[in-house]
Amino acid sequence: EAGVTQSPTHLIKTRGQQATLRCSPISGHTSVYWYQQALGLGLQFLLWYDEGEERNRGNFPPRFSGRQFPNYSSELNVNALELEDSALYLCASSPDPGSSGNTIYFGEGSWLTVV
């Protein structure tokens, strides 16, 4: 069974541009989470999507946005890129949030470098 897949693996953008990152959850999972992890730092919660709706977001400016498609895959968009946005962006998925345990599984991440 395929795990959480993310693309692209690496992305280099110029300050002020937009970046789009993509995530495919594990088959059967309806929830998708996005995290930002700057080099050497911890995981910062960005967004949570479930059943196509944004359910919660972390303390990030509105230029961080995303969506979840009917097939439960998700996109993270970062507008007006700043140098500080350079980080590993991690996507995770979990089954129906109502299920017991709600185990979350992560992808390998997308490295975004802003120059």
Partner 1 sequence: LAKTTQPISMDSYEGQEVNITCSHNNIATNDYITWYQQFPSQGPRFIIQGYKTKVTNEVASLFIPADRKSSTLSLPRVSLSDTAVYYCLVVSKHGSGNTGKLIFGQGTTLQVKP
Q: Which part of the chain contacts partner 1 (CB under 8 A), choosing from 12-20, 53-61, 64-72, 75-83? A: 53-61
| Residue number, 20 or 26, with CB nearest to partner 1 | 26
Nearest approach, Cβ of 16 to partner 1 (angstroms)? 26
Residue 107 in the binding site for partner 1 (CB under 8 A): yes
Cα 115 → chain centroid: 21
Token pair 């089954």: residue: 95
Residue 56 in the binding site for partner 1 (CB under 8 A): yes
Give the residue, chosen from 19, 92, 112, 114, that forms a contact with partner 1 under the rule CB under 8 A: 92
Residue 2 in the binding site for partner 1 (CB under 8 A): no
Q: How far is CA 62 from CA 11, 31, 77, 94, in A?
A: 21, 21, 10, 25
C-alpha triplet 110, 41, 111: angle, nearest 5°:
15
